[in-house]
Amino acid sequence: MFTGIIEAVGKVKSIKLNASGARVMIASGNLDLSDVKLGDSIATNGICLTVVDLDDASYSADVSKETLTRTGFTNYASGTKVNLEKAMLPTTRFGGHMVSGHVDGIGKITAINTVGNSIEYWIELADNLKQYVAEKGSITVDGTSLTVNSVDENKFRLTIVPHTTEQTIISTYKVGQLVNLEVDLIARYIERLLFCREQDCNQATSSGISKELLLNSGFIK
């Protein structure tokens, strides 16, 4: 689990395709790797990656074909800048929102406008994701927790303050660029609850847990 508050900006050192996907090496920049061990998770442009090799200044991870398909990794190359965040600790200050590191899809930047000392970005997203985006709600863009300022059909507007621009890769964005998007987890759970009110979600899962069992056990009312 992550918070969407970027800790450092790194760079892709290499991407080597293989039968199962790819092995990527990331230069960690100012990210402190002293407390990272093999098997830990690091959000890399919003993608939860498991560390399989590391040294003082970089880490490597395997990227599955599924991840290559759903994210912008297919457009990355050596030198591409990426946002970095280590997995949160129980004692971490929760400055952003709940971020899983599981990218839902890719968005496209359609407009960039300067407003005072801030910059506005309009991002277009796929029709199957637009119902999860709400004005003043949260969304993760390349791993950064951001507030949606307005929504227009399948586009949403972000207003980025100078501090966020300085601490992330947002300053490199251009019109037409693709970005990784993760919608708010709470929105997905609400959708599922509403669906279950209309559909038959009472049947047991493969684990034997059913709505009836949870009701009888006092977990739900």
Same domain, 77 and 117: no
- Asked, for residue 76, whether it belongs to a domain, the answer is yes
pTM (two decimals) = 0.84
- Asked, for residue 2, whether it belongs to a domain, the answer is no
Residue 56: name the closest of 85, 17, 27 by CA.
Answer: 27
Task: Please give the Cα distance from 150 to 32 (Å, whole number).
Answer: 35
Helix (H, G, I), strand (E, B) or coil at 65: helix
Q: How far is CA 80 from CA 73, 77, 182, in A?
A: 10, 6, 20
- Asked, for residue 200, whether it belongs to a domain, the answer is yes
Domain that holds residue 52: 8-86
What the block records as the tokens of 32 is 């402190």
Same domain, 109 and 183: yes
Same domain, 31 and 12: yes
Residue 89 per-residue DSSP state = P
- Asked, for residue 147, whether it belongs to a domain, the answer is yes
- Asked, for residue 97, whether it belongs to a domain, the answer is no
Residue 29: name the closest of 6, 52, 46 by CA.
Answer: 6
- Asked, for residue 99, whether it belongs to a domain, the answer is no
Q: How many domains, in total, are found in the chain?
A: 3
Task: Please give the Cα distance from 84 to 7 (Å, whole number).
Answer: 6
Same domain, 181 and 114: yes
Same domain, 150 and 134: yes
Same domain, 124 and 61: no
**What pLDDT shows up at residue 202?**
59
Task: Please give the Cα distance from 105 to 133 (Å, whole number).
Answer: 13
Residue 104: name the closest of 138, 74, 139 by CA.
Answer: 139
Residue 167: name the closest of 147, 144, 148, 146 by CA.
Answer: 144
**What pLDDT shows up at residue 35?**
94
pLDDT grade for 52, boundaries at 50, 70 and 90: very high
pLDDT grade for 191, boundaries at 50, 70 and 90: confident
pLDDT grade for 195, boundaries at 50, 70 and 90: confident
What the block records as the tokens of 89 is 């600790």
Task: Please give the Cα distance from 21 to 70 (Å, whole number).
Answer: 12
Residue 15 sits in a domain whose CATH number is: 2.40.30.20
**What pLDDT shows up at residue 24?**
97
